[in-house]
Structure 1
Amino acid sequence: MNELYTFAVELTLWLLAAFSVIVWALIVIKGVQNFLVARRNRRFTQAFWGAADLNAAAALENHQGSAAQVAQVGFRTLRNADSSSGHDLEHSWDRQDLLERHLRQQIQKERRSLESGLAVLASIGTTAPFVGLFGTVFGIIEALTAITSSSSASIEVVAGPIGHALIATGFGIAVAIPAVLAYNYFLRRLKLVAADLDDFATDFVTLVQKAGFRIKPTAVTTKLPNRNTEAGAATDKSPEVFA
């Protein structure tokens, strides 16, 4: 029976070790993610507000980050509204409502991306101490069983099982503390990024409203035909330009 109790304590310690690896892996991943999001949003907003006009801002490329994704969705929505003549439910909105709807949906997507992993941190942070106590209980039972079998309560009999039990408790607390701290920090960062995206979307709608909710389509030109490719080719054709 003592072997069963010892196995339960060791299993608890291995489970807490796995929790610790998951917590620190998530801390590193979420830390890198938040760092990249903050830097990319800062670069894009600087380029966006530094553009000459709204059409110049719509032509910004090679930008990543949540703010850039929100802006791209907004510009794409307006272009699709100009080019679409459908009469289904998807196109039954007016331009402002359609734009606000798509911006709101994209912000929710960005929030879900930043929220990924936070539930795991919260779960480990709240359950790790209890998992440690679970191992402690079996350690104490092992100590009491040793006392009963040896009919002695000397320190040599109880020191090992009690020490094993206390290690499980301490390990559980050691796993929970960084998980809770990381969860609170990343949740705070999530709220700040979401607030910045909401502010950016509001400013975006205001700018587009001044432009009548219309964006100039991007001009696409074809290559000029080579007049010397064929000897008998007609020479009076003008180059085609598609706007």
Structure 2
Amino acid sequence: MTDINTIIHDATIWLLIGFSIVTWVLIVVKVLQTRKASKQSQSFVEQFWQAKNLNDAIAQSKQAEGPTAHIAQVGFKILREADEKTHQDLQQSWSRQDLLERNLRKQILTERRQLEKGSAILASIGNNAPFIGLFGTVFGIIHALQAIAQSGNASMDVVAGPIGQALIATGIGIAVAVPAVLAYNYFVRKVKNIGADLDDFATDFVSLTQKTGFQLPSQQAGASALSQKTTETAVTREQEVLA
């Protein structure tokens, strides 16, 4: 039993060390990810609203990267493909505004899921690391008590060393949990802030395209040309009838 207790205690410490490595790797990755997303979104929003017209904004969105740029790309794609006059399936049975808003919401959720990846691991480590450390401490204390019983001496000098060594697992568990919990709370708040910015941009995007009737300039030009052609055809037929 003594060997098994020692193995469990040592394995618990190594498991906690592994959790600590995973925690710090995730922290570094998530910091770089959120900073990159924030920087890309801020840069794109500034360029987007500085565009002279909607055509320039479309061109900028095609070359840009980041969560906000992806939302703009999806919005322009939906407006380009949407056609209320030909309902080929249920997907196209929505109005342009409803279809746009629906797809923008879906893209926002997709971007948030990308930013939230890894957060569940941090939360799990933060919640369970202290208990794993306590688990290792229990077996460490059992091993220490068995060693004391075998020595037949229960003085403080004999007890303090093994018991203190057993408590190391609990200390390591707490040391692993604290950074994980703090990092999780930080990234949850960061993702919420980025998500709020994405919601604001999506709302402004809908308001902007509403001014053009939820149609892109090329679609508007095609509609105007078709209307003009129809008018010219009607006038020609009327002249033929009069002649």
TM-score band w.r.t. shorter chain: 0.7 to 0.9
How far apart, CA to CA, are the structure 2 residues paired with 1:66 and 1:84?
31
Partner residue in 1 for 2:46: 46
How far apart, CA to CA, are the structure 2 residues paired with 1:128 and 1:24?
14
How far apart, CA to CA, are the structure 2 residues paired with 1:178 and 1:51?
43
Q: TM-score by structure 2 length? A: 0.86
Partner residue in 2 for 1:141: 142
How far apart, CA to CA, are the structure 2 residues paired with 1:155 and 1:21?
36
How far apart, CA to CA, are the structure 2 residues paired with 1:89 and 1:161?
71
Partner residue in 1 for 2:159: 158
Checking the alignment, whether the CA contact within 8 Å between 2:84 and 2:96 is kept in structure 1 is no
Is 1:210 aligned to residue 211 of structure 2? Answer: yes
Q: CA deviation at 1:66?
A: 0.2
Partner residue in 2 for 1:16: 16
Q: Deviations over 1:83-127 (max 9, x none)?
A: 993421110100000000100000000010011000000000010
1:76 partner amino acid: K
Partner residue in 2 for 1:107: 108
How far apart, CA to CA, are the structure 2 residues paired with 1:165 and 1:147?
13
Is 1:194 aligned to residue 195 of structure 2? Answer: yes
Computed over aligned residues only, the root mean square deviation of the Cα atoms, in angstroms, reads 1.6
* Alignment of structure 1 residues 1-243 onto 2, 5 Å: 1-60=1-60, 61-82=62-83, 85-217=86-218
Identity in percent: 57
Query: Please, which runs of 5 or more residues in structure 1 have no aligned partner?
Result: 219-243
Point out the structure with the larger helix share.
2
- The alignment of Structure 1 onto Structure 2 pairs a total of residues equal to 218
Q: TM-score by structure 1 length? A: 0.86
Checking the alignment, whether the CA contact within 8 Å between 1:147 and 1:153 is kept in structure 2 is yes
Partner residue in 2 for 1:230: none
How far apart, CA to CA, are the structure 1 residues paired with 2:119 and 2:218?
40
Checking the alignment, whether the CA contact within 8 Å between 2:133 and 2:171 is kept in structure 1 is yes
Query: Please, which runs of 5 or more residues in structure 2 have no aligned partner?
Result: 220-243
How far apart, CA to CA, are the structure 1 residues paired with 2:66 and 2:161?
54
Q: Deviations over 1:181-213 (max 9, x none)?
A: 100000000000000000110010011001110
Q: Judge which range, 84-93 or 59-68, deviates more.
A: 84-93
How far apart, CA to CA, are the structure 2 residues paired with 1:26 and 1:67?
23
How far apart, CA to CA, are the structure 2 residues paired with 1:86 and 1:216?
22
2:51 partner amino acid: A
How far apart, CA to CA, are the structure 1 residues paired with 2:218 and 2:124?
48
Q: Deviations over 1:117-138 (max 9, x none)?
A: 0000000001001111011111
Checking the alignment, whether the CA contact within 8 Å between 1:146 and 1:157 is kept in structure 2 is no
